[in-house]
Structures are given as C-alpha cells and as structure tokens.
Amino acid sequence: MIRPFRLTDILATKRQQQIALLDLPDSIVRGFAPAHFAARSALGPARLGANGLVYTNRMRLIAGCLYDSPRRGEDVRLIALTGYSHEDAEALAAWERLVERTCLRAAGYGRLRVVARPEEGSTCAGMLHKLGFTIATRERILARTVSAEPQYRPASFELLRSNDVWDAWKLYSRTEPLSVQRAEGLSPASWWRGRRLRRRPFQEWILRNNGNAVVHLELHYGRHNAALRFHYEPEHRGSLSDGTEHAIGVAARAKVNTVYCVVRDHQADLESLLLDRGFVVAHSQVRLVLYTSVLSSVTDALPSPGVERAPSGLRTGMTGLSQTDNAESGQNADWYNW
C-alpha cells in the first residue's frame, strides 16, 4: 500500500538504516534529517513544499520517498529514498513503486520535470533509468574544509546587483550545454524570481570584460556548510582562482565547516583548478530528469487515490500499479497538496 507520511511513521523512519540521498550537495548545505522532513510532510498545508510517501506491507513500513515540490516551481525534486538495509530487494521494489507514483502525480498536477541526482553507477540510478529518467549531465562534488582565512574581494569582481541579473542569465545561457538548460528549465523570469525567493543566505559576484559578464560566482551557505557554483567563459578560467579564494573567505566569516562545489562534465578545467586549491573529490553523481510530457495518458483531473490507476500506454517503462497499492480508505482526494 502506498500512502502519505503520517506522524506515526516518524519513529519507523528514524530506524531505517538505508538512505539514498538524491539532492546533493543541497541536502548537506540546508541540513537534512529524514525524520524531520517526514514530520514536515505529515503536517499537511504547513509543510512548505516537503512531501513524502511510504510503502507499507501488512502495516509494516518498508520504504519511504521524500521529495520537494515548491508551490511556484515547475520541478519536483526527489530528496531521498529510505528503507531497511537488510531488506534491499524488497526496499528496491518499493522504491520503484514510490517513484512511479510520484511521477504520475507530478504529471497530473502540471509539473514539467521530476529531477534526481543519485550516485553514479548505483542501484538507485539504474532503477530511475528503468523508469524513464534520462541523463542531463554527470557531476562530481568537490569539498574543502574551511579554515580561518582573511576575507578579500579582487578588484575585478563585483557584487551582483539587480541590474546585473540579466547579464548573469545571458552568461548562463551561453556556457551551459543545452541538455543541462533543458533539464533545469530556467528562463529569465524564473532566474530572477529564484533569487528573490531564496530562503538560505547567499552571495553572488560577477566579473566583466569589455562590459560583458564572463564569470558568475554563487555562494549558498547554511548553518554548517556552503555550496559554490560557477558559470564562466572558458577563456577566462584564469580568474576563477581569485574568485574561489574570496568565496572561501566569505564562508570562513560565516563560520561554516566545509565548502562544496559541483563540477559538471563540461567543466574539467574547473575541477583541476579546485583540486590545486585544496579541494578533494567527495562524490560522483548523475543528474537525471524525467519529462512528464512523455506521460501522455495522464489525465488532467486525477481521481481519488482509492480508484487511481496507472494510465495505459506509458512510454517510460513504468509498470502498472496494482489495486492493492492504490487502495487507501479514509483519505482525502487531494492528499498530496502540491
């Protein structure tokens, strides 16, 4: 049976030993505890985008799927899958059904993409590929421990102002591969809106050459960790070293422990530079995306969970949901509250 998280599931979630994180390094930066996320999911309208489903068998919780569905976003981001380590086969089958259900609901509620970032070559990545997820890019997460360092900003770098956002967007659209841009689904409007609605502290800098933006640097930080991201013209990669050291100094002032940086396939030169600056490779992952437009048979008005079925003719390799998985008495029709 598949149903939403309840407050009574929190203890069982804390006992689950197998956790597949699908949103690194963001989960580390903002801080992630499965039981806390599940509790937010169980609080209904007050959960602020946090959602969760569980798969049960004879009243026993087998696995859980935690995902984020921002109210104004077009994406559904898979955050983590949880289960018991001594029941790998059973948990994997449950994960497949949970992700399958999440994708169907995303399509039914008009979301355009379902995004996940599993470890490269993992069983979880294979399961998502089987369900129709495709690779947008491969990513390596580099990490560096922060020590007390002086803060400075090279004269060539400027803090990003509101009138620089358009130039930063144009730099992004020039330097990121089309496959990545399509997977992220950003537009000038969403690029601007995303910066206004961010809840975590962040700073951005821009480097110009002859009036054009050639390097854009973002630093997002939480209570204990921070994440660094670059967009840059390849011929100006020599300026990244100064920008990196400045960002590390800002992170040190914010008293974070570790700075993470995601390096994508097309940024091999950035990886070499960061390794020379004291970063180490911490994790390798793939950015996977399922475009819900392929779920052509999903109707706009989904029925209540008690009668919901997987539509016929799915072109993603998804299997049909059984009646047992869908039966849930006493639930409201809108039990996802996207």
Cβ atoms of residues 240 and 205 within 8 Å: no
Strand-pair category, 60-68 with 75-83: antiparallel
Structural domains in the chain, CATH included, are 2-132+296-326 (3.40.630), 140-285 (3.40.630.30)
Q: How many CA atoms lie within 13 A of 271 on its CB side?
A: 17
Give the pair of three-digit tokens for residue 196: 């206004």
Look at residue 285 in the predicted model and tell me its pLDDT: 96
Which regions in the chain score pLDDT beneath 50? 46, 86, 298-338
Look at residue 197 in the predicted model and tell me its pLDDT: 53
Look at residue 289 in the predicted model and tell me its pLDDT: 95
Query: Residue 166 belongs to what H/E stretch?
Result: helix 165-175
Residue 73 DSSP SS3: coil
The residue assigned the tokens 């640097």 is 217
Residue 52 — φ and ψ, nearest 5°? -155, 145
CA torsion sign for 180, 28, 244, 151 is positive
Look at residue 36 in the predicted model and tell me its pLDDT: 79
Look at residue 19 in the predicted model and tell me its pLDDT: 85
Cβ atoms of residues 82 and 23 within 8 Å: no
Look at residue 37 in the predicted model and tell me its pLDDT: 80
Look at residue 105 in the predicted model and tell me its pLDDT: 86
Q: Residue 37, class by beta-carbon neighbours within 10 Å (0-12 exposed, 13-18 middle, 19+ buried)? A: buried
CA angle 186, 192, 195 (to 5 degrees): 100
Look at residue 335 in the predicted model and tell me its pLDDT: 34
pTM of the entire predicted model: 0.82
CA torsion sign for 300, 81, 287, 30 is positive
Look at residue 313 in the predicted model and tell me its pLDDT: 34
Give the pair of three-digit tokens for residue 55: 């798969």
Distance (Å, rounded) from C-alpha 6 to C-alpha 9?
A: 5
Look at residue 323 in the predicted model and tell me its pLDDT: 36
